[in-house]
Amino acid sequence: MIKAVVFDMDGVLSDTEPYHKFVRDELLKEFGVFSEELSLSALGKGLEAYWQSVIKKFNLNADAKKLTDDTFLRLADLAFSVPFKPMDGLTELLKGLKKRGYKIGVASSSLKVMVYAVLKAIGVETFADAVVCGDEVKDVKPAPYVYAEALKRLKVLPDEAVAVEDSHTGAKGAINAGIKTVIAYAPGGALSGNENMDICAFKVSDLREILNVVQKL
C-alpha cells in the first residue's frame, strides 16, 4: 500500500533549469571556458559530476565540491529576486494527495538554503511532511542517501513510497534506496538530457496524472 509520494525538486516541482543555466554560464565565463554546448552538457547529470568533468576537460585549478556549493548558493540568492514558479498542476496534485491522506516528501541533491528558498517561493513548503537536502546526507543522487533519509523522516518503508523524478540520476537514487516505483515526469513529453528513463515504472507529461497512478498502486 502506497503511503507517501517523494518528489525531486529541480525540474519536477519547479522549472529551475533556466536559473541553473544562468549560474553555470556565469561560472564557466569566469573560468574563460564558456560554450553553449558545454553548459547544456550538464542536463541530467549530477551537478558535482558535471563540474568534475569540466575541471578535468580544461585542467582547471578548481574544486568540484566548492563549485557545486557555489552554484547552489548563487541559485539561492536568485530565488529571492526572480519569480520561481510551481510546475503546472503541482498545487492541484499536492492538494489531491493530501486530501487522500498521502504523505509528501521532497528529496533534493540541492543545498538546504536553495531548496527552502524555492519551496517557499512556489508555495510548497506547507505541503511537505519531510524535506531532505543534499548537504544533509553524505552523498547525493544517484547514491541512495537523500531518498533513504526522506523515507526515514516520513516513517514509511521503501515499498510504501513512490518517487517522482525527471532524470536518470535521480531515478537511480530512488531505486538504490529501495523504492520500486519511480514515476518519470516529462513535461511536454521531453525528459531532461533526452535520458533513458526505462528504469521508471511510469511516465507522465502532466503532474495531475500522478494522482491517478498512485491511487491504482
**pTM of the complete model:** 0.88
- The owner of cell 498542476 is 89
Q: Are residues 92 and 124 in the same domain?
A: yes
Residues 137 and 202 in one domain: yes
Q: Give the end of a domain, one of 79, 107, 131.
A: 79
Domain boundary among the residues 25, 53, 79 is at 79
Residues 127 and 199 in one domain: yes
Final residue belonging to a domain, choices 28, 57, 79: 79
Do 129 and 37 fall into the same domain?
no
Q: How do residues 139-165 score in pLDDT, each as one tens digit?
A: 989 999 999 999 999 999 999 999 999
Sign of CA dihedral 39, 207, 196, 194: negative
Residues 58 and 74 in one domain: yes
177 vs 194, which has greater pLDDT? 177
Q: How far apart are CA 217 and CA 205, in angstroms?
A: 19
What distance in Å separates the CA atoms of residue 171 and residue 198, rounded to the nearest whole number? Answer: 10
Q: CATH number for the domain including 62?
A: 1.10.150
Least confident of 4-8, 19-23, 38-42, 80-84: 80-84
Tell me: pLDDT of 188 over 70. Answer: no
Are 53 and 107 contained in the same domain?
Answer: no
Domain range spanning residue 60? 17-79
68 and 94 inside one domain: no
Q: In what order do the strands lie in the sheet with 4-7?
A: 130-132, 103-107, 4-7, 161-165, 181-185, 202-204
- Measured distance CA(102)–CA(199) in Å, rounded: 24
CA distance to 97, 102, 137, 165, per residue, from 169 (Å): 25, 25, 16, 9
Angle, helices 64-79/47-58, rounded to nearest 10 degrees: 130
The CATH number linked to 205 is 3.40.50.1000
Residue range 71-99: mean pLDDT, rounded: 89
Please tell me the least confidently modeled range out of 71-75, 162-166, 207-211: 71-75
77 class by beta-carbon count within 10 Å (0-12 exposed, 13-18 middle, 19+ buried): middle
Distance CA 41, CA 172 (A): 19
Q: What is the mean pLDDT of the chain?
A: 91
Percentage of the chain modeled with pLDDT above 70: 95
The SS3 assignment for 172 reads helix
Q: Calculate what percentage of the chain has a pLDDT beyond 90.
A: 70
> No. of H helices and E strands in the chain?
9, 6
| Residue 6 DSSP SS3 | strand
Tell me the mean pLDDT in the region 169-190.
Answer: 89
Q: How confident is the model at residue 190 (pLDDT cuts 50, 70, 90)?
A: low
* pLDDT tens readout for residues 112-138: 988 998 999 899 999 999 999 999 999
Comparing 47-56, 70-79, 178-187, the range with the smallest average pLDDT is: 70-79
Mark whether 74 and 109 lie in a shared domain: no
pLDDT-based confidence at 193, cuts 50/70/90? Answer: very low
| Mean pLDDT value of segment 203-214 | 96
Residue 194 pLDDT exceeds 80: no
- 148 and 99 co-located in one domain: yes
Q: How many domains does the chain have?
A: 2
CB atoms within 10 A of CB 114: 28
Same domain, 129 and 35: no
Q: CB-side exposure of 81: number of CA atoms within 13 Å?
A: 6
Residue 212: per-residue pLDDT: 96
Examine the domain organization and report whether 153 and 212 are in the same domain.
Answer: yes
Query: Catalytic positions, please?
Result: 8, 10
